[in-house]
Amino acid sequence: MAKTPTLQARLETETRDSVMIVRLDGGPLGLIGLDMTNQLSDLLDQLESDTAIRAVVFTGTHEGRFLSHADVRWLQEGGKSIPLLPRGVASAVAHTSKAIRGVPVVEQLAALTPLDGGMQLDKLHETFMRMNRCGVIFIAALNGSALGLGSEFAQACDMRLMADGDYFIGQPEVLLGFAPGGGGTQRLTRLVGAHKALMLMLEGRPLSPAKALEIGWIDEVVAPEALLDRAVEMGRYFGSRPRGAIEAIKRSVYIGSFKSLEEGLHVERTEFINSSPTAPAQALMVEYLARTDREGELPFYDPATYERSLAEGHLPLPVTVPGM
């Protein structure tokens, strides 16, 4: 059997106005491994400080594939380095890995122990969670098939478009004897429902773009030649909303919606308290009140004003407000 080629991942970026296109080059087989996940983390560092980028579109460079799946050699070697542990001890290792990651010296020493695999997994989860907490819109433009971690990466995005064709998306980890580890058991469940996700992951059978659309795994099926332009169009549309409001809504949904109602409402209150005093929110609310006084009607009950607001991403303002 031929040896798996050495994975040399690369992120190729291109900017179209406020939308960044990131092409995911996973090497000859279109794989995602440690190198790519580290580069994604570095990209998040940039995006969290660059307010000019309002949306990011991810797409693959391998013909017919978004990201094939995780680099199995990376998973196998990481698993081999961890001794078989009772579930309770494994839980403690996961907690410890999370606690020490990012602590200088301690992390370096832990990298020489079985905790290293746990820290890598925690960093991957944290990178995806940073996407969920960020005021940037993330769109997966699946130019082809995606399995395992490729699918989980798409699930971590806010929207998923998939090229029409003889492609598939799935979670086949059970067929290799382990559970999904990139968030699939949690995010796929939130997208399609607990029982449907359970059945998909227990069997490991992939779905066609049409079937994935039917159950809510993806949001649109698009002709291959129109995929990237459609994703950029969506990025411009949704990214035109005030960034602080996008961040607050994403945090409320991703973090709060699957807690208890009381805990979820606490997250919502926190995000409302954080977003309502911002300059964009205050300027927009003041303009809404001024228009109401001038016109004797609520602006969002004027169809033309509402449609223009949707198109521009916010109620039209007479002056430019920083952060809009």
Q: Are residues 55 and 181 in the same domain?
A: yes
What's the pLDDT at 34? 86
Residue among 218, 228, 203, 45 at smallest CA distance from 143: 228
Q: Are residues 53 and 145 in the same domain?
A: yes
**Structural contact between residues 59 and 227, judged by C-beta atoms closer than 8 angstroms:** yes
Alpha-carbon distance of 67 to 87, in angstroms, equals 31
Mean of the per-residue pLDDT values of the chain: 88
DSSP 174: G
In this predicted model, what pLDDT tens digit does every residue of 21-65 receive, in sequence order?
999 999 999 999 888 999 999 999 999 999 999 999 999 999 999
**Stretch 220-233: mean pLDDT, rounded?**
98
**Stretch 120-148: mean pLDDT, rounded?**
93
**Structural contact between residues 48 and 130, judged by C-beta atoms closer than 8 angstroms:** yes
Please count the structural domains in the chain. Answer: 2
- The answer to whether position 291 is within a domain reads yes
CATH code of the domain in which 34 resides:
3.90.226.10
Q: Are residues 71 and 191 in the same domain?
A: yes
- The answer to whether position 96 is within a domain reads no
Residue 298 above 50 pLDDT?
yes
Q: Rounded to 5 degrees, what angle do the CA atoms 175, 91, 42 make?
A: 75
- The answer to whether position 317 is within a domain reads no
Residue 277 above 90 pLDDT?
yes
Domain of 203? 10-84+116-238
What's the pLDDT at 9? 79
In this predicted model, what pLDDT tens digit does every residue of 250-270 receive, in sequence order?
999 999 988 999 999 999 999
- The answer to whether position 250 is within a domain reads yes
Q: Are residues 278 and 154 in the same domain?
A: no
Q: Are residues 273 and 177 in the same domain?
A: no
Token pair for 305: 């004003």
